[in-house]
Amino acid sequence: GAGVSQSPSNKVTEKGKDVELRCDPISGHTALYWYRQSLGQGLEFLIYFQGNSAPDKSGLPSDRFSAERTGGSVSTLTIQRTQQEDSAVYLCASSLNEGGGYTFGSGTRLTVV
Amino acid sequence: QKEVEQDPGPLSVPEGAIVSLNCTYSNSAFQYFMWYRQYSRKGPELLMYTYSSGNKEDGRFTAQVDKSSKYISLFIRDSQPSDSATYLCAIRNTGTASKLTFGTGTRLQVTL
């Protein structure tokens, strides 16, 4: 596609439920990143994929968070047993190669009630 | 201390003013410097990308890097209401992965 596509754009879930967030990067972009943006906190790095492997997952805040990427394309970020502190905007970005400028999607706004 | 510090604002200026946005960083390994613009409920959009000390100009925007002071700036000339957005600095080093470290963002409002 022309840009990075994220779905859903908004998600409201009950505390304790699992959620899956999807990212469709720009075709041909080998690098894919997940960030989390909370009010007043800036963008917090979660995980980086090069192809299907994740050389840096140091930003995942707990073992409730996991991500995968298949076919060097679509990525899914899964949050298990959601907590209220997980409420944030989850942003995905891709770049043509490592070190390039990122192109971000519009994000998924997650609200845990 | 955060790796990247940025004044959150908000910063309000009249149309036509020159805007100066700044970040400081602590890690001298950082070598690549970017500025992103983020409109409300949108993802950040890359504005400027530089890797050397000095100035880089693109239209009304000038990015300035001073590695000796660990200080980066974005100047916006002849500011327009459409420039109203949050501006984020982003920095990375030359090491593995290409994780960007972001500032918290400065909210800019350009008034008529």
Concatenate the DSSP letters of all residues of B88-99 into one string: EEEEEESSSS--
Whether B100 sits inside 8 A of A45 (CB atoms) is: yes
The nearest alpha carbon in chain B to A41 belongs to B104
Could you tell me where the DSSP H helices lie in A34-84? none
CA distance A55 to A48: 7
For the segment A19-44, the average pLDDT, to the nearest whole number, is 92
DSSP per-residue codes, A7-18: E-SEEEE-TT--
Taking the C-alpha atoms of residue B84 and residue A35, their distance in angstroms, rounded to an integer, is 23
- Contact between A4 and A74 (Cβ < 8 Å): no
pLDDT digits (tens, 9 = 90+) for B45-99: 999 988 888 899 999 999 999 999 999 999 999 999 999 999 999 998 766 556 8
Q: Is the pLDDT score of B101 beyond 60?
A: yes
**Are A58 and A70 contacting, i.e. CB atoms less than 8 angstroms apart?**
no
Chain B residues with CB under 8 Å of A5 CB are none
Does residue B20 register a pLDDT over 60?
A: yes
Confidence class for position A42, pLDDT limits 50, 70, 90: confident
Output the pLDDT for position B95: 62
Judge residue A75's burial from the number of C-beta atoms within 10 Å of its C-beta, 0-12 exposed, 13-18 middle, 19 or more buried.
buried
The pLDDT score that the predictor gives to residue A55 is 87
For B23-47, the pLDDT digits (tens) are: 999 988 888 899 999 999 899 999 9
**What percent of chain A clears pLDDT 90, i.e. is strictly above it?**
82
For chain B, the straight-line distance linking the first and the last C-alpha, in angstroms and rounded, comes to: 37
Token pair, residue A37, equals 């943006």
Q: Which residues in chain A have Cβ-Cβ distances shorter than 8 Å to B8? A: 40
C-alpha distances in Å from residue B92, one per residue of A19, A57, A72, A106, B66: 30, 16, 24, 22, 15
- Over residues A60-102, the pLDDT tens digits come to 999 999 999 999 899 999 999 999 999 999 999 998 876 667 8
Chain A residues with CB under 8 Å of B100 CB are 33, 43, 45, 102
pLDDT of residue A99: 64
